[in-house]
Structure 1
């Protein structure tokens, strides 16, 4: 399948989703974990569900993509996301998009005022902004991956 330069692959694996949560939705006021052992300990303490560092490692690296429901419930509770976030269907992707959008509000200049301004723009104006965002993301990915667009 040829890549369309105007589209972005938004389907994320379970590992991608969990890693994103750890990097972007770690509770405010808590120091982000230095390793999987710390992550497992903090999540276990906060949720009462015993998670091992091996479980966290397997989930983060994609070596496990079918965890127990109790593990997903603990992650959902800890990160404040609906359990549907971890699914692999269109509904799960929409939920993941909503979680991402809500996390961005107030960060990096994407605040309610910016969202209101976006909502007030014409369809053409919003498309220009969307194209700019996609282009900027590709540029950043290319810089992170040694000049190769990922």
Structure 2
């Protein structure tokens, strides 16, 4: 369990953050992109900022980790996250945690009753739930979901 906690304290790369947004925060009602060309077109159309498929590819693969501010602003606008989400400090990681938590209450996420129940649980109960979630996520990743 110590490994999980230390891993949680590491800063995710910009590529990891952008990939997470594409996989988990694609706007409701829009078909998720099949490739970088579709992702770039959707973001460009929604924000008015021209992004190329090459730019998206470089960001998703980590080949570019210092994009222009206008690119980050377009991504932030499209995914509905604060621009600070893309930073590489503790504040950015805290913001990323808030973004992930807010995603839980989306269309297919947890309902308010479940969230309230989690808050009202003892520390031991919350840790048990956290361990279960981490185990379930590992199983899904292993199955390619």
TM-score > 0.5 by shorter chain = yes
Q: 1:109 to 1:55 in 2, by over 3 A?
A: closer
Quick one: distance in 2 between partners of 1:55 and 1:77?
17
Whole-angstrom CA distance in 2 between matches of 1:134 and 1:35:
28
What residue ranges of structure 2 are gaps of 5+ in the alignment?
A: none
Find the aligned partners of 2:22 and 2:47 in 1 and give their Cα distance. 15
Gaps of 5+ in 1: 145-150
1:4 is matched with 2
Please say if residues 103 and 109 of structure 2, whose CA atoms lie closer than 8 Å, have aligned partners that are also in contact.
Answer: no
Structure 2 Cα separation of the partners of residues 134 and 8 of structure 1 = 14
CA distance in structure 2 between the partners assigned to 1:54 and 1:6 by the alignment: 34
Q: Name 2:105's counterpart in structure 1.
A: 105
Which runs of structure 2 are paired with 1:89-128 in the superposition (5 Å)? 89-106=89-106, 108=108, 110-128=110-128
Alpha-carbon shift at residue 19 of structure 1 (Å): 0.9
SS at match of 1:9: helix
Query: TM-score under structure 1 normalisation?
Result: 0.85
SS of the residue 1:136 aligns to: helix
2: CA distance, partners of 1:34 / 1:138: 24
CA RMSD of aligned residues (A): 2.0
Deviation at 1:71, TM superposition (A): 0.4
Contact 1:106 1:112 in 2 (8 A): no
Q: SS of the residue aligned with 1:38?
A: helix
- In the alignment of these two chains, the number of paired residues is 143
Shift of residue 25, structure 1, vs aligned partner: 1.1
Taking structure 2 as the reference length, the TM-score comes to 0.88
Q: Determine if contact 1:8/1:134 at 8 Å carries over to the other structure.
A: no
Which residue number corresponds to residue 24 of structure 1?
24
Query: In structure 1, how many angstroms separate the alpha carbons of the residues matched to 2:19 and 2:5?
Result: 23
